[in-house]
Structures are given as structure tokens and as C-alpha cells.
Amino acid sequence: MAAGTRLARTLPYAIVGAAAGYLFYVAMNFEFHRRAGTLGPDFWPKAILALLIATCAYEIGKRMFSRTRDVEVGGVLEGLVEASAEEHADMGEAAAAESHPWLLLAGMALTGLYVYIIQMLGFFLATAPYLALFIALGGYRRWGVIAATSVLGTLLLLFFFMRVVYVSLPIGEAPFSAVTLFLMQVMGIR
């Protein structure tokens, strides 16, 4: 492969890597009060940016110094779609994708309502019903599975964001905040 082509193929990775390097430098200069035994607000941005820089460096090295001919790996999804189209070609018009614009609008309205009420109800009391209603809106009708998935999923998200990643989630206004504070106490979240 010509040197100019190799350079052109590495340019996007060089630009993204340089931008990530600058943002990593900015994250190194975050000013905050360190607490013993906890990750600071600089940890996750620096971790993600370091992985991005490493990925860009790997891709640049691979594209610049690889002696094998550069073969694109893409096209997996295209291959699956083409295989499915060939398999269902005899179905003709019956296999056309269904369109449900009212379900789309209902999902958008439900999401808008969720954004509106999350500050009042708190993360848990707003997210669990949102997930349940969204799953039901999608056509799933096993109510026990929906209830378990929405409650356990919301608890898992609450634990992950507040205990692992240290993201502050809305606790809600009184009296709803009592539920969130109780769950935080049970999970050991301060």
C-alpha cells in the first residue's frame, strides 16, 4: 500500500487520539476535594480517555506498520441482512417491515414524561414504572417478568451509578425522597 494511502487511513485515528490526549490533560487538572477510599470525579474520564488513546495508537501502528494487505472486516451486518433477504425472498410483500408510528409517538411521550417527573419522584420511583411501561408498550405481556425486570434493573442501575461510578442521581422531593434514601441506606450508598 502506498505511503500516502497509509497516512490517509491513519489520519482519523491521529485526530481522535490527539483530541483525547488534550482532554486527558484537562482531566488531569480537575480541581476537587479528595476523599480517602473513593474515586474522584476525574477517574472515569481519564480511564475512558486512556483507553481511547491506546486504541488510536494501536490502530495507527497497525495501519502504518502492517505488512499484510489491509482488509476491511466490516460487512458482517450487511451479510446477515442479505442472507435474511435471500431466505425470505419468496414471502414477497408479506415480509415488509411493520410500521407503528403511534407506538413511536407513545414511546417519545413516555420518555418526555419520565424526564419531567424524575426530579419530583426520584430515580427509583420514576425509572421502575418507566421501564415497565416501555417494555409493555413494546408488546411484551408477561407481567411478572416485566415487574421483576423493571424493579431489579432499576435497583442495579441505582447501585451501579451511585456506588460504583459515583454519579449523583435525583432522590426526589419529599415524601418520595424517603424511598430513595431508604434504598441508598440498604445498599450502603452514602
What string of H, E and C letters represents the secondary structure of the chain? CCHHHHHHHHHHHHHHHHHHHHHHHHHHCCCCCCCCCCCCCCHHHHHHHHHHHHHHHHHHHHHHHCCCCCCCCCCHHHHHHHHHHHHCHHHHHHHCCCCCHHHHHHHHHHHHHHHHHHHHHCHHHHHHHHHHHHHHHCCCCCHHHHHHHHHHHHHHHHHHHHHHCCCCCCCCCCCCHHHHHHHHHHHCCC
Backbone φ and ψ of 98, nearest 5°: -75, 150
Domain boundaries, the chain: 3-65, 101-187
* pLDDT tens digits in sequence order for the chain, 190 residues long: 566 777 888 899 999 999 999 999 998 888 877 778 777 777 888 999 999 999 999 999 988 887 765 455 555 667 777 777 777 666 655 545 678 899 999 999 999 999 999 999 999 999 999 999 999 999 999 999 999 999 999 999 999 988 888 788 999 999 999 999 999 999 988 7
pLDDT at residue number 30: 82
